[in-house]
Structure 1
Amino acid sequence: MPTLYEWAGGEETFKRLTSIFYGRVVNDPILQPVFGAMAQDHPQRVAWALAEILGGPQTYTRQRGGHRQLISAHLHRHLSEQQRARWVSLLIETADEIGLPSDAEFRAAFVSYIEWGSRVALSVSQYDGEIPKDLDPMPRWDWIIPPPNEAPQTR
């Protein structure tokens, strides 16, 4: 059975998704205060994280340090629910526009992770403590419902 990463189209798909998405985020009135001064490589780092979490290579862990680094990047950001919800809706809109698979099985798993991960980021952004050094490895998201045996119809 293919991973969510493979089903989505692999590395280039995630690079395209995050490149287009973060190009829009910097001009979004709700998200610009959070991302207006983001590092130039931020879209690449998010592409690595999404790819790894959805079953792809462990590039984020090798290049950035894994789950602890991902969580730490959200500390003290004091995100709002409005910003979290806008981030999710704009990412899903971008996924639709670039042709991420639209089958129910893939979308259920993809949106499930995006919702869960964004809620973790929101919670962590309010936290004033330190992230434990022995934080679990990167989460690995999988199918909620197994996909049909045929390739997705849209790409």
Structure 2
Amino acid sequence: METVYEAAGGSEFFVKLAAAWHARVVADEVVGHAFRHGVHPEHTQRLAAYWSEALGGPQLYSGVYGDESSVVRMHSGNGPHTDMDRRAIDCFDQALADVGPLDARLHGVLHDYFAWTTSNSMARYEHSADDVPAGLLIPAWSWDGLETR
């Protein structure tokens, strides 16, 4: 069975999706404030590499940029932000439409992945980035959801 990464179209698809999502969140009145301090110049490429790896593609993120701990630290220590998370998920769904059309199953698994990682991995250490343990692995997501390692 092909991976979610393969079904989506590989790295080219995830670069387009990351660019579409980034444009949407920067423009969003709630989520946009998280990006107003500036972002890494390769933010879209790095995000695409992260999503690609998490969804069954090659180790494009962990092989070049860092591990899950580094990603989670970037998103930690900001207190609870459930409204911002919900808006980020809405922007992701809109970005999926921007790069679509996608079949219902692929759309659903991509939505579920993003909603899960936004509400779990990226929201787990709301009090301090110092609480994030070293050596976390990028969670793997398949057609059936989160895979155990």
What is the TM-score normalised by the length of structure 2?
Answer: 0.86
Residue 100 (structure 1) shift:
5.2
Secondary structure of the residue that 1:83 maps to in structure 2?
helix
Q: How does 1:78-117 map to 2 (within 5 A)?
A: 78=79, 80-99=81-100, 101-104=102-105, 106-117=106-117
Structure 2 residue 39 is the aligned partner of structure 1 residue 38? yes
Cα pair 2:68 2:135 within 8 Å, conserved:
no
Q: Secondary structure at the match of 2:131?
A: coil
CA deviation string 1:75-100 (max 9, x = no partner)? 22335111100100111111122115
Q: 1:122 to 1:141 in 2, by over 3 A?
A: same
Cα deviations by residue, 1:52-90 (Å, 9 ceiling, x for unpaired): 000011010011222111211112233511110010011
Match of 1:152 in 2: none
Counterpart check, 1:10 vs 2:10: yes
| Partner SS, residue 101 of structure 1 | coil
Counterpart position of 2:24 = 24
Q: CA RMSD in A?
A: 1.7
Question: Distance between the aligned counterparts of 1:108 and 1:139, measured in 2?
Answer: 18
Are 1:123 and 2:133 an aligned pair? no
Q: Name the CA shift for 1:100/1:11 in 2 (closer, same or farther; >3 Å).
A: farther
Structure 1 segments unaligned to the other structure (5+ residues): 146-155
Alpha-carbon distance in 1 for matches of 2:112, 2:21: 18
Amino acid at match of 2:14: F
Partner amino acid for 1:77?
A: N
- TM score, norm. by length of structure 1: 0.83
Is the CA contact 2:56–2:140 (under 8 Å) kept in the aligned structure 1? yes
- Asked if structure 1 preserves the Cα contact closer than 8 Å seen for 2:17 and 2:96, the reply is yes
**Equivalent-residue separation in structure 1 for 2:18 and 2:75 (angstroms):** 17
- The number of residue pairs the alignment matches comes to 142
1:97-146 deviations in Å (ceiling 9; x for gaps): 21152222x2332222111100121232x1324322233x211111129x
Which has more radius of gyration?
1
Structure 2: segments with no counterpart, 5+ residues: none
SS in structure 2 of the partner of residue 47 of structure 1:
helix
